[in-house]
Amino acid sequence: MTHRNNRFLSLRGALNFRHMGGYPAAQGRKTRGDLLFRSEYFQLKTKEDVKRFEALNIKVAFDFRSSKERSKHPFKLSIPSPPHIIAFPFSQGSVENIISYLSRSTLSATEILEKIKTVYASMVMESAEMFSAFFRHLAEADSAVLLFCSFGKDRTGIAAALLLAALEVPREVIREDYLLSAQAYQDVSAAISRLEYLSGVKNLGSYRTIIEPVLTVQSVYFEVFWDTMERLAGSGEKFLHNYLGISSFTLKTLQDKFTE
């Protein structure tokens, strides 16, 4: 079994909670692991988890789940000062989308893979307004921030990749960060159990063959995301500037804030 990368934080029931610090960034600096976090949906289940989370000083949490996901599993942390939640609802890649794929029993694993690639392209093409707002809120944040969705790998993966790109982290390093989610969900049985919990649908183990591409990440997904950015704008940098409308001033603000 592959050992989990030491970026992962130990919270009971959280498979994919990790920091994004120490990556090479703009002007020879490094991203700040004390300010940048990404995760799946979780709840704090023990006193130890509460202490660990409070120590991170996360005051803003960006929730990329669909409205249905948020309604079914509200993100309510029982702590004195929970993070302020800013919701950016993505229906693409949601739990209900995953279940709809599995309900089509005629789909093969290859067809599921192609659907996932389509989802990644659509999240880039159809979400400029959301991502522009996401960057505006990031620029205003004055504490550590958390990016999350149901599994913390697809919608969160794209948002995190865009943030790291804004900090001028190299593409290959961004790709490596994205692929760490494969470590989080290398136990497919545990990933299936999580999907059953989030969806309320039982006995999903019978779909194991076609479900595996959905419950992990692959290089091809990242390449679809990055290639779509370049096709739309010419480069990742131009995508941020021209497609999302992120100003040089905002990018400099983010780099000053989230790198050291």
The residue ranges of every structural domain in the chain are 18-258
pTM: 0.95
What would the two tokens of residue 207 be? 């779909």
What would the two tokens of residue 177 be? 């960060």
Residues 133 and 88: beta-carbon distance below 8 Å: yes
Please state the CATH superfamily assignment of the domain spanning residues 18-258 in this structure. Answer: Protein tyrosine phosphatase superfamily (3.90.190.10)
| pLDDT tens per residue across span 204-220 | 988 888 888 889 999 99
| pLDDT tens per residue across span 46-61 | 999 999 999 999 999 9
CA separation for the pair 184, 215 (Å, rounded): 10
pLDDT in tens, the chain (260 residues): 334 578 999 898 799 999 999 999 999 999 999 999 999 999 998 999 999 999 999 999 999 999 999 999 999 998 999 999 999 999 888 999 888 877 766 778 788 889 899 999 999 999 999 999 999 999 999 999 999 999 999 999 999 999 999 999 999 999 999 999 999 999 999 999 999 999 999 989 888 888 888 899 999 999 999 999 999 999 999 999 999 999 999 999 999 999 99
First to last CA, the chain: 34
